[in-house]
Each structure stands twice: as C-alpha cells, then as structure tokens.
Amino acid sequence: MRETPSLLLVHGAWHGPWCWEKLTPELDARGIPWRTVALPCVGDDPKLLGGVAEDARAIEAAAGAIPGDVVVLAHSYGGIPTTEARFGANVKRLIYLGAFMPDAGQSLADLLPPGPLPPFVVDNGDGTTSVRPDLAVPTFYADCDPATAAWAVARLRHHNGICNVTKVSRAASWRDIPSSYILLTEDFACPTIVQRAVSRQADQVIEMTGCHSPFLSKPAELANVLSGIIEHMGSNGMRRSA
C-alpha cells in the first residue's frame, strides 16, 4: 500500500505557520501527515528579514528533512520562493493555493496589474511592508467568522518588501514537478484575475469558491480538496497531458 505523502505548508507574506492551525486538525482527521515552515521574510525586525533566496532555502531544507514523499503546498507569496526552490527527488507534487506562480525572470510585482501598491499594503519606510488594519479583514479574511478574522489580524507581521520585486531565477520547480493550482474565486490579495492567468501553467486546476484564506474560513472543504489531489497522485505525481 502506498504511503500517504506529507504536506509541507508554506505560508504567504505577513503570515506565519500559525495560519494553518485550523487546517491541520482536518488533515490529521484524513490521515495526511504535515509539516510547516517559517519563512525568513516575515518578522518584526527589518534588519533580520530574509529575501526570496533565503525563503527558498528554508523551503528546500524543510522539504528535505521530511522522510518519504512530500507535496509542497504554497499559499499566496509562498508561491514565489517555492518556484525558486530546488527540490530533491522526494518532492512529488507542488500545490499552489491562491498563489503567485511566476515563470523564470518574473517577480510578484510583474504578475500584478501595473500601478501603485495595492491599498491594503503599507510601506513602512524601512524596507518592510505591513497590512492596513482596516483593510486586513476584507482583503484576507472576508469569509471568516469575526473571531477568527480578529485572531488572524492580530498575528500579522512585517514582510520584506524586496521580495515583491525580486525576480525568480528559475521555474524548474513547476516545470519539472507535477503541479496543481487551487484557484480562489473571490480573492483580492492575489487577485483572481491573476490566478486565472498563472494557473494555466499548472497540470491541474481546481476552483474553490471563496476568498484568500480558505485554511481559516473553510478548513474542512480545503482538506477535502487536498485529500482528493493526494489520493489521485500516481507514481509520477499525476502530470496532465498537454
């Protein structure tokens, strides 16, 4: 019997491993092993924050430390360093969840419509960005219950702004490894229109109705989607033919 691969959960900008706390019990209930990784780009001290390269190395190290097969699940900005990362043979599939999925030579900013920073982003003047408190809920947690949304807003931290304009040097991760894209239909943080464009690069696209953070608003539904992807993986990770 094939052993269930482990999910490596990669958070996005301003967030941390805490954001998966409602999803992980649902994964446990479905027998899906999981690990999290904390990206160096998020924190409180601007002098200590890493960039895309450091985030990619953290993801690589976390995936390499997991015994057996691994599926990497990247949310939002987490898709940038996941694309940059160099994975070992144990990584069998990538899942982009409402995530930026660049090609080589593209940055996060390159994937957005041209113009100023989105209104929910605050430039702190020290190289970091943060989220406007009054726009955090409608941007990230619009379909969460009020208590969950408030809990999440209180945990947001600074993000290294250089990450948004750093171009990935490679896209061999999703070019060489089978990929799924979970497209969120009412997303304003990683706009749904952007998701529809980049998701064409994935081998499989699954639409999920809702906003940016289904791991908080619909953890059971998201766990079911993830379980379905994992259950249908073949020995090669399930690559769709062109």
The length of the chain is: 242
Encoded tokens for 205: 């696209």
Print burial letters for 140-165: b (CB count within 10 Å at least 16), e (below 16): bbbbbeeebbebbbeebbbbbbebbe
Residue 201 DSSP label: G
Catalytic site residues?
76
- 239 three-state secondary structure: coil
Q: Is 155 left (phi over 0), alpha (psi -120 to 50) or beta?
A: alpha
Encoded tokens for 226: 């993830």
Three-state secondary structure string covering 145-163: CHHHHHHHHCCCCEEEHHH
